[in-house]
């Protein structure tokens, strides 16, 4: 009987110890998971903070500078439109992709296709986006064959697929899918035909205070970030009434 009593006491001690260990383990796992989520969230916040447009000192857009902004770049819409939008974009920028998905198509349908807006697209390849320069050049090379906007759309549709690319194979395959002359496109991209042109756009962007993407100038009025369509509509409609 004494042995049995001793055994029972031993068993009664084991159960609380196991419970403490289990609770402790659960707490430790929970803490690790929470920390992982915080760290992951922190990385996302840092990424967004880096990519989000910064509030900068405004640069006066004189008539001379405005003419320079409109003089080059990929264009669509009527030349004599009352409103001109100049956009500085980065094909690897998630905010630029968001703008294309959420506002650009409405602007195109309501204002560009109806002759009210002329749209000019210029490049602002951000230094921390490894493929920003080459994609800007790819779009320009497609423009040599009158397919700039088709490549523009393709690059934004497939941004996630090529963002980690280490060569130009994917961009060349897109040219084939779009029906471009593959030899001409490949030669244009490989020889860096538009390398300096894109770099010139970057210098112009810095000159006018556009250091984040996307940045827009609507008849010279600056608008920064992936704004909703309503923000563009307010400015465009006001300019059309003048």
In-domain check, residue 58 = no
| CATH code of the domain in which 195 resides | 3.40.30.10
Which pLDDT score, from 0 to 100, does residue 93 have?
Answer: 98
Is the per-residue pLDDT at 19 higher than 90? no
- The verdict on 46 and 68 lying in the same domain is no
Mean pLDDT confidence for 185-213: 96
- The verdict on 11 and 69 lying in the same domain is no
DSSP for 178-189, written as a single string: TT--HHHHHHHH
d(CA 31, CA 28): 5
In-domain check, residue 225 = yes
Phi, psi torsion values for 83, nearest 5 degrees? -125, 135
Range of 3's domain? 1-51
Looking at the structure of the chain, the number of domains it has is 2
In-domain check, residue 236 = yes
* Percent over 90 (pLDDT), the chain: 71
Mean pLDDT confidence for 19-27: 40
- The verdict on 106 and 17 lying in the same domain is no
- The verdict on 32 and 114 lying in the same domain is no
- The verdict on 117 and 212 lying in the same domain is yes
- The verdict on 17 and 100 lying in the same domain is no
In-domain check, residue 231 = yes
Is the per-residue pLDDT at 49 higher than 70? no
In-domain check, residue 112 = yes
Mean pLDDT confidence for 49-69: 67
Is the per-residue pLDDT at 35 higher than 80? no
- The verdict on 126 and 27 lying in the same domain is no
- The verdict on 47 and 4 lying in the same domain is yes
- The verdict on 136 and 201 lying in the same domain is yes
113-144 pLDDT tens trace:
999 999 999 999 999 999 999 999 999 999 99
In-domain check, residue 140 = yes
- The verdict on 121 and 16 lying in the same domain is no
Which pLDDT score, from 0 to 100, does residue 242 have?
Answer: 85
Mean pLDDT confidence for 3-24: 43
CA neighbor of 85 nearest in space, from 232, 234, 238: 232
Among 41-45, 67-71, 97-101, the range with the most confident prediction by mean pLDDT is 97-101
In-domain check, residue 57 = no
Quickly state the pLDDT bin for 199 (edges 50, 70, 90).
Answer: very high
Among 39-43, 92-96, 183-187, 205-209, which stretch is predicted with the lowest mean pLDDT? Answer: 39-43
Which pLDDT score, from 0 to 100, does residue 59 have?
Answer: 72
Quickly state the pLDDT bin for 4 (edges 50, 70, 90).
Answer: very low
**Roughly what angle, to the nearest 10 degrees, separates helices 169-177 and 132-143?**
30
Which pLDDT score, from 0 to 100, does residue 58 have?
Answer: 65
User: Is 35 or 183 the better-scoring residue by pLDDT?
Assistant: 183
Is the per-residue pLDDT at 60 higher than 80? no
Among 17-26, 89-98, 165-174, which stretch is predicted with the lowest mean pLDDT? Answer: 17-26
- The verdict on 73 and 181 lying in the same domain is yes
User: Is 47 or 85 the better-scoring residue by pLDDT?
Assistant: 85
Q: Is 190 exposed, middle or buried (0-12, 13-18, 19+ CB in 10 A)?
A: exposed
- The verdict on 67 and 44 lying in the same domain is no
d(CA 104, CA 108): 6
Q: What integer best gives the mean pLDDT of the chain?
A: 83
In-domain check, residue 56 = no
Which pLDDT score, from 0 to 100, does residue 57 have?
Answer: 54
């Amino acid at each position: 009987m004494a042995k049995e009593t001793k055994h029972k006491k031993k068993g009664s001690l084991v159960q609380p110890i196991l419970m403490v260990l289990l609770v402790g383990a659960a707490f430790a796992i929970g803490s690790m998971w929470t920390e992982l989520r915080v760290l992951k969230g922190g990385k996302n916040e840092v990424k967004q903070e880096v990519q989000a447009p910064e509030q900068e000192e405004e640069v006066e857009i004189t008539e001379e500078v405005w003419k320079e902004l409109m003089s080059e770049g990929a264009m669509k819409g009527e030349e004599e439109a009352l409103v001109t939008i100049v956009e500085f974009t980065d094909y690897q920028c998630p905010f630029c992709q968001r703008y294309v998905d959420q506002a650009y198509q409405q602007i195109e349908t309501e204002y560009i296709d109806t002759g009210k807006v002329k749209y000019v697209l210029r490049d602002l390849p951000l230094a921390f986006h490894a493929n920003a320069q080459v994609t800007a050049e790819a779009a320009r090379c497609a423009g040599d064959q009158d397919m700039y906007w088709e490549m523009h759309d393709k690059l934004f549709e497939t941004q996630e697929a090529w963002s980690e690319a280490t060569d130009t194979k994917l961009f060349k395959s897109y040219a084939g899918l779009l029906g471009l002359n593959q030899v001409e496109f490949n030669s244009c991209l490989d020889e860096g035909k538009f390398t300096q042109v894109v770099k010139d756009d970057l210098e112009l962007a810095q000159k006018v205070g556009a250091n984040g993407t996307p940045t827009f100038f609507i008849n010279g009025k600056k608008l920064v970030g992936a704004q909703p369509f309503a923000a563009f509509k307010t400015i465009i409609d006001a300019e059309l009434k003048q």
